[in-house]
Structure 1
Amino acid sequence: MAIDDILENFELFDDWEDRYRFVIDLGRELTPFPEAERTEDNRVRGCTSRVWLTSRLEGSPRHLFLEGDSDAHIVKGLVAILLSIYSGKTPVEVLQIDARAILAKLGLEAHLSPMRTNGLFSMVERIRAIAADYALDSGVTA
């Protein structure tokens, strides 16, 4: 689901319980994450729950495609939100995205525990690092 659709859906819900259920449902819609990819190299540090992210470049110009998973339902939904923000963009586009501004529109920081919020931004930083590595490898700068 595109981030604009997620933002629109969030506005339809009157309370945070419904929004939490929606986030959890987003996580359930993620592509199944291969067991073989649940490695320490793919694990995101800084998250209380276990989170894994993988990436690949495709196409010309090269676009970054991400897959992810978590062992916690709400965090898996947060992974889905981040993938909707970043996946399918070029590495340079990823580096130009202000995820904090987008996530602020959802109001997540005010409704997640501090540990979950830290984990969310650890995922953002990991995705940005992946994009920066790809951009550097291709000789492109943001």
Structure 2
Amino acid sequence: MSPLSADAAHALEVFQQAGSWEQRARLLMQWGEKLDPLGETQQTEANRVHGCESQVWLVAEQVDQCWQFRAASEARLIRGLLALLLVRVNGLDSVALATLDLSDWFTQLGLARQLSPSRSNGLNAVLRRMTELSN
């Protein structure tokens, strides 16, 4: 497993300290508000992630062999989940990205049991798209 970035370690600490699902849900909304918005020119069909119930757009940039992703969604809860996914994957190289265990990350955050199958499938679709973009 790839080491956690400082931002991912911070997210993990914050979410592990939350005592209840209500606290984690509130945190999730707050993390979603931190996402840098994508411009209208980036919210195109070419950048849309297929396989998500909510609309999700994803853009990628490679900097010094490491990937930086930005994502957007109109759904508040999805934005929070995307923020937590991005904090985990940004800065990884293509190999680390391809071997990331998404369910383990959300289990560590204490969110896995609250993810519906459709949300889980959507997050996996985002990760698959990230892997496609990084190849």
Q: TM-score, normalised by structure 2?
A: 0.88
Residue 119 of structure 1 aligns with which residue? 122
1:118 deviates by 1.4
Residue 68 of structure 2 aligns with which residue? 65
Residue 91 of structure 2 aligns with which residue? 88
1:97 deviates by 2.3
Check conservation: 2:49, 2:126, Cα contact below 8 A.
yes
1:12 deviates by 1.4
Residue correspondences, number: 130
The answer to whether residue 31 in structure 2 is matched with residue 30 in structure 1 is: no
1:41 deviates by 1.0
Matches of 1:40 and 1:58 in 2, distance apart? Answer: 24
Q: Secondary structure at the match of 2:38?
A: coil
Matches of 2:132 and 2:29 in 1, distance apart? Answer: 26
1:99 deviates by 2.2
Q: Which sits farther off after the overlay, 90-99 or 13-22?
A: 90-99
Residue 12 of structure 1 aligns with which residue? 17
Report the aligned-residue RMSD: 1.4
Q: Secondary structure at the match of 2:41?
A: helix
Give % identity.
Answer: 33
Residue 41 of structure 1 aligns with which residue? 46
Higher RCO (C-alpha under 8 Å, 6+ residues apart): 2
Matches of 1:97 and 1:11 in 2, distance apart? Answer: 20
Instruction: Identify which of 3, 7, 26 aligns with 1:2.
Output: 7
The answer to whether residue 129 in structure 2 is matched with residue 129 in structure 1 is: no
Paired amino acid for 2:110 = G
Matches of 1:36 and 1:45 in 2, distance apart? Answer: 18
- Greater Rg by CA: 1
Structure 1 gap ranges (5+): 134-142
1:73 deviates by 0.5
1:47 deviates by 0.8
